[in-house]
């Protein structure tokens, strides 16, 4: 078994593209290996700012491609079909084909063993094919060249079992083709010249000697550990931010953490703004005191070692940061000279959407909608309207103009400065939440009202102008808005049917050209149903159980109710009684489906005739079904779904006895029909809770 090493060395690759680029390269190579019948033990991807690397271990010296086994047309097929098959297999006649009989007739088959090739030769073809299909999020082109790559490619290392795999990559446009070899390069400033490598172990060792840590995980762990050590020396701790860490890892090949300082006067600015400034522009790691307050120190990760121990690097970064913090403080001081409410009028200069008006128009809708939501959940409707009025006002502030990521957060600070109530201020900060799966969810009444109103208004508006997400495209983040509403409802245990809220949101729009409200609400219910399925699947709940509940007579826009029923059903089918009853249901439903198709009619549960029940097991089942059906219906109406499942469990014994002892398709037509009606009653009773035909197993 041998190893394949591939390194594509280039100018600096944008940090956000490195890891995915390396993973995509590995996946394409792995797919090619599998298609060519090459087995392997493992495949790894690595990346640094100037290289993406793939190493595949455990490869054979020769591939073992699968034999060709192609089914052709029937022997008596039309000549055109026969000729087409011969053309597809590259043959002029059927001398190398065989005939095989099947229940559907006699068919031609073409089978051929495929001779193996040297792995190095196969790898060369695979990788050059990958070069042709590889796509970066953003690429560069050279002059009139047809090919594109993320940054100028400088060299290729391609080794199989220590020998060079011949590769060539030509960008065109007058650029010379880059060919493969054994030479790689180290750190741009801390190493000198190229060096030859023999294999992956030799490659990583020589890279480290040339001041390059190939492993992203190793670089990340080192940066984190060193930053924490530096913070501890200052009596501080690191402001953990995994997203920032991933960015920094993509900026350095040889990380050198250093501590910088800024003037304490800047700490008067809200720390979210300062942290955003440090992260967004300079990729600095903020440091906090033991109370979680921002300190006037930060960690900068240099990409080189300097003779002065980093003093000039730190001084330069402090100077740059000082200028940015000065801007932030200036805007903070200026913004507070104007009340937040006075900024609402300026929202009329910001377009929400060309067909849906301005952000000021949206604010007017939010006032009414937030108050409406407040009445539904028992919150203060006047305070909810106040929070909604001010929610977007900080968009016209200087700080938010410079640092858009702190919108909402700054609104809270301005509101507190203006002596608004803490609950209103917090609702302003929370109304965008949750922004993503890892974001916190609003849990205070006013925050819930403004967050729901903002998302409901957006969804109703865009669905009303038929700007729904399609495929992977969702430019207005409507899926995220829907999932946010689902989280708010579930995490706060709200019983809040959505259709009336959709209608209230729709009625807030006073613009022409909207789709009918009935169509909009119907589409939104379907849209939320799909999003709820995704959310429940992420919790590990089987998709068939979700489908079974949603297919039943349940209010689909009442998210909490649907989830409650899904959980009860999940628990039920996980029990021995539930699993056995489900199996019996499937058996009965299949018999009904077959017999109804055969007879061309349905067997109505209401047609059950007790006088035609001859055997004791069918009498016992009929006797058990009547009270069980009534009990299930009553418990279902009271939303006691656990009780419903318990009531169904009581049917297990008579159902088991029925299928064990009774022949449904009796020779007597009236008895057969009566037994099928009994099965129909069993099906209807169980389908009160969920459509069990949708379940698996």
CATH, range 2-63+117-209: 3.30.70.260
The average confidence (pLDDT) of the chain is: 93
Structure confidence at residue 176 (pLDDT): 77
The encoded tokens of residue 20 equal: 């995915």
Distances (CA, A) of 589 to 161, 569, 570, 581, 593: 61, 19, 20, 12, 6
Distance, CA of 631 to chain centre = 41
Tell the residue number behind the tokens 């403004």, with chain if given.
450
Tell the residue number behind the tokens 């597809």, with chain if given.
88
Residue 405 to residue 354: CA distance in whole angstroms: 23
Q: At 207, is the pLDDT very low, low, confident or very high (cuts 50, 70, 90)?
A: very high
3-state secondary structure of 182: coil
Residue 518 to residue 266: CA distance in whole angstroms: 54
Q: Which residues, other chains included, contact 295 with Cβ-Cβ below 8 Å and sequence gap of 6+?
A: 234, 236, 287, 288, 289
The encoded tokens of residue 302 equal: 């240099």
Q: Which residues, other chains included, contact 208 with Cβ-Cβ below 8 Å and sequence gap of 6+?
A: 214
Q: At 173, is the pLDDT very low, low, confident or very high (cuts 50, 70, 90)?
A: low
Q: Which of 429, 403, 435 lies closest to 416 in space, CA to CA? A: 429
Residues forming a β-bridge with 56: 4, 43
3-state secondary structure of 481: helix
Residue 672 to residue 154: CA distance in whole angstroms: 81
- Number of Cβ within a 10 Å radius of residue 596: 14
Residue 477 to residue 471: CA distance in whole angstroms: 13
Q: At 519, is the pLDDT very low, low, confident or very high (cuts 50, 70, 90)?
A: very high
- Number of Cβ within a 10 Å radius of residue 159: 27
Residue 298 to residue 262: CA distance in whole angstroms: 8
Q: Which of 363, 386, 392, 397 lies closest to 273 in space, CA to CA? A: 397
446's enclosing H/E stretch is: helix 445-464
Q: Indicate the DSSP class of residue 403.
A: -
Of 427-431, 562-566, 595-599, 623-627, where does the model show the most confidence? 427-431
Q: Are 620 and 693 in contact (CB under 8 A)?
A: no
pLDDT in tens, 548-588: 998 887 888 999 999 999 999 999 888 888 888 888 888 88
| 148 pLDDT above the threshold of 90 | no
107's enclosing H/E stretch is: strand 105-112
Q: Are 434 and 457 in contact (CB under 8 A)?
A: no
Distance, CA of 473 to chain centre = 13
Structure confidence at residue 395 (pLDDT): 97
Q: Which of 246, 171, 174, 249 lies closest to 8 in space, CA to CA? A: 171
Helical pair 652-661 and 616-637, crossing angle rounded to 10 deg: 150
Residues forming a β-bridge with 153: 10
Q: Which of 394, 406, 694, 339 lies closest to 550 in space, CA to CA? A: 694
pLDDT in tens, 89-113: 989 999 999 999 988 889 999 988 8
What b/e string do you get for 244-263 counting C-beta neighbours within 10 Å, with b at 16 or more?
bbeebbbbbbbbbbbbbebe
Q: Which residues, other chains included, contact 684 with Cβ-Cβ below 8 Å and sequence gap of 6+?
A: 605, 629
DSSP H helical ranges for 336-444: 359-377, 381-390, 398-402, 409-417, 422-430
What b/e string do you get for 288-316 counting C-beta neighbours within 10 Å, with b at 16 or more?
beeeeebbbbbbbbbbbeeeeebeebbee
- Assign domain 571-694 to its CATH architecture: Orthogonal Bundle (1.10)
Q: In a 10 Å sphere around its CB, with 0-12 CB exposed, 13-18 middle and 19+ buried, how is residue 80 labelled?
A: exposed
pLDDT in tens, 618-652: 999 999 999 999 999 999 989 999 999 999 999 99
Structure confidence at residue 471 (pLDDT): 84
pLDDT in tens, 40-89: 999 999 999 999 999 999 999 987 777 888 999 999 999 999 999 999 99
| H helix and E strand count, the chain | 24, 20
Structure confidence at residue 115 (pLDDT): 80
Q: Which residues, other chains included, contact 110 with Cβ-Cβ below 8 Å and sequence gap of 6+?
A: 68, 69, 70, 72, 85, 89, 91, 96, 97
Q: At 605, is the pLDDT very low, low, confident or very high (cuts 50, 70, 90)?
A: confident
* 2-63+117-209 and 349-513 agree in CATH topology: no
The encoded tokens of residue 99 equal: 């005939």
Residue 697 to residue 692: CA distance in whole angstroms: 10
Q: At 205, is the pLDDT very low, low, confident or very high (cuts 50, 70, 90)?
A: very high
59's enclosing H/E stretch is: strand 51-59
DSSP H helical ranges for 210-310: 216-233, 242-249, 271-277
Q: Which of 519, 411, 522, 503 lies closest to 456 in space, CA to CA? A: 503
Q: Which of 352, 353, 355, 362 lies closest to 513 in space, CA to CA? A: 355
Q: Are 684 and 605 in contact (CB under 8 A)?
A: yes
pLDDT in tens, 209-261: 999 999 999 999 999 999 999 999 999 999 999 999 999 999 999 999 999 99
Q: Residue 540 — left, alpha, or beta (φ > 0 → left; ψ -120 to 50 → alpha)?
A: left
pLDDT in tens, 532-550: 998 898 888 888 888 899 8
Structure confidence at residue 64 (pLDDT): 75
Structure confidence at residue 443 (pLDDT): 95
| 175 pLDDT above the threshold of 70 | no
Structure confidence at residue 694 (pLDDT): 86
- The ranges assigned to domains in the chain are 2-63+117-209, 68-112, 216-335, 349-513, 571-694
User: What does the CA dihedral 323, 329, 330, 336 come to, rounded to 10 degrees?
Assistant: 170
pLDDT in tens, 113-147: 878 789 999 999 999 999 988 999 988 877 666 77
3-state secondary structure of 298: strand
Structure confidence at residue 68 (pLDDT): 84
β pairing state of 183-185 and 194-196: antiparallel
Q: Which of 268, 261, 323 lies closest to 286 in space, CA to CA? A: 261
Task: Identify the CATH assignment for 349-513 out of 1.10.1060, 1.10.3470, 1.10.3210, 1.10.357.
Answer: 1.10.3210
Q: Which of 214, 237, 234, 235 lies closest to 224 in space, CA to CA? A: 237
Give the predicted TM-score (pTM) of the model.
Answer: 0.79
Q: At 311, is the pLDDT very low, low, confident or very high (cuts 50, 70, 90)?
A: very high
| 189 pLDDT above the threshold of 70 | yes
Q: Are 17 and 164 in contact (CB under 8 A)?
A: no
What does the radius of gyration of the chain's CA atoms come to, in whole angstroms? 34
The encoded tokens of residue 1 equal: 């078994």
Min mean pLDDT across 162-166, 565-569, 602-606 is at 602-606
Q: Which of 53, 59, 12 lies closest to 207 in space, CA to CA? A: 53
| 366 pLDDT above the threshold of 90 | yes
Q: Which of 362, 369, 413 lies closest to 392 in space, CA to CA? A: 362
Distance, CA of 129 to chain centre = 29
3-state secondary structure of 441: coil
Q: Are 184 and 212 in contact (CB under 8 A)?
A: no
Residue 454 to residue 452: CA distance in whole angstroms: 6
Tell the residue number behind the tokens 């300026």, with chain if given.
346
């Amino acid at each position: 078994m041998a190893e394949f090493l591939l390194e594509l060395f280039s100018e600096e690759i944008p940090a956000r593209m490195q890891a995915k680029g390396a993973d995509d390269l590995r996946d394409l190579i792995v797919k090619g290996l599998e298609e060519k019948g090459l087995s392997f033990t493992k495949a790894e991807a690595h990346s640094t700012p100037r290289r993406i690397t793939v190493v595949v271990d455990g490869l054979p010296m020769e591939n073992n491609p699968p034999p060709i086994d192609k089914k052709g047309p029937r022997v008596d097929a039309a000549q055109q079909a026969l000729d087409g098959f011969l053309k597809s297999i590259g043959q002029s006649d059927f001398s190398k084909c065989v005939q095989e009989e099947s229940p559907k007739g006699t068919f031609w088959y073409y089978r051929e063993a495929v001779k193996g090739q040297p792995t190095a030769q196969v790898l060369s073809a695979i990788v050059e094919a990958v070069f042709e299909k590889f796509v970066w999020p953003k690429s560069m082109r050279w002059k009139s060249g047809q090919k594109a790559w993320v940054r100028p490619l400088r060299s290729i290392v391609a080794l199989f079992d220590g020998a060079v795999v011949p590769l060539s990559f030509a960008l065109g446009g007058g650029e010379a083709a880059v060919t493969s070899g054994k030479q790689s390069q180290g750190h741009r400033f801390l190493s000198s010249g190229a060096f030859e490598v023999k294999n992956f172990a030799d490659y990583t060792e020589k890279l480290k000697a040339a001041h390059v840590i190939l492993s992203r995980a190793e670089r990340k762990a080192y940066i984190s550990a060193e930053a924490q050590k530096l913070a501890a020396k200052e009596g501080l701790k690191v402001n953990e931010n995994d997203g920032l860490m991933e960015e920094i890892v993509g900026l350095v090949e040889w990380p050198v953490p250093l501590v910088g300082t800024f003037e304490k006067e800047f700490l008067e600015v809200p720390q979210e703004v300062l942290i955003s400034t440090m992260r967004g522009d300079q990729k600095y790691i903020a440091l906090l005191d033991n109370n979680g307050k921002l300190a006037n120190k930060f960690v900068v990760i240099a990409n080189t070692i300097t003779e002065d121990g980093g003093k000039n690097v730190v001084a330069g970064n402090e100077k740059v940061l000082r200028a940015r913090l000065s801007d932030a403080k200036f805007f903070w001081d200026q913004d507070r000279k104007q009340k937040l409410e006075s900024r609402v009028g300026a929202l009329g200069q910001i377009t929400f959407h060309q067909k849906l008006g301005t952000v000021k128009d949206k604010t007017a809708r939010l006032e009414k909608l937030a108050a409406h939501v407040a009445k539904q959940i028992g919150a203060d409707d006047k305070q909810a309207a106040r929070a909604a009025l001010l929610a977007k006002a900080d968009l016209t502030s200087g700080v938010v103009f410079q640092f858009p990521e702190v919108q909402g957060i700054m609104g809270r600070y301005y509101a507190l400065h203006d002596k608004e109530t803490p609950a209103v201020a917090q609702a302003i900060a929370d109304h965008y939440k949750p922004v993503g799966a890892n974001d916190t969810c609003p849990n205070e009444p006013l925050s819930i009202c403004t967050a729901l109103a903002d998302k409901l208004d957006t969804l109703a508006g865009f669905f009303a102008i038929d700007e729904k997400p399609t495929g992977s495209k969702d430019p207005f983040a409507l899926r995220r808005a829907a999932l946010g509403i689902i989280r708010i409802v579930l995490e706060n245990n709200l019983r809040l049917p959505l259709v009336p809220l959709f209608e209230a949101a729709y009625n807030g729009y006073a613009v022409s050209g909207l789709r009918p409200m009935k169509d909009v609400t119907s589409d939104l219910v379907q849209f939320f149903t799909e999003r709820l399925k995704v959310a429940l699947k992420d919790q590990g709940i089987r998709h068939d159980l979700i489908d079974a509940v949603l297919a039943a007579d349940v209010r689909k826009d009442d998210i909490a109710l649907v989830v409650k029923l899904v959980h009860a059903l999940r628990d039920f089918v996980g029990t021995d009684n539930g699993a056995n009853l489900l199996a019996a249901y499937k058996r009965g439903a299949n018999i009904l489906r077959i017999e109804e198709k055969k007879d061309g009619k349905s067997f109505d549960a209401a047609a059950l005739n007790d006088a035609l029940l001859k055997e004791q097991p069918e009498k016992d089942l009929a006797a058990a079904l009547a009270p069980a059906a009534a009990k299930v219906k009553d418990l279902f109406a009271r939303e006691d779904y656990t009780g419903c499942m318990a009531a169904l469990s009581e049917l297990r014994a008579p159902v088991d006895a029925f299928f064990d002892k009774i022949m449904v398709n009796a020779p007597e037509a009236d008895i057969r029909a009566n037994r099928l009606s009994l099965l129909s009653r069993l099906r209807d009773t169980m389908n009160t809770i969920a459509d069990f035909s949708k379940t698996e197993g």
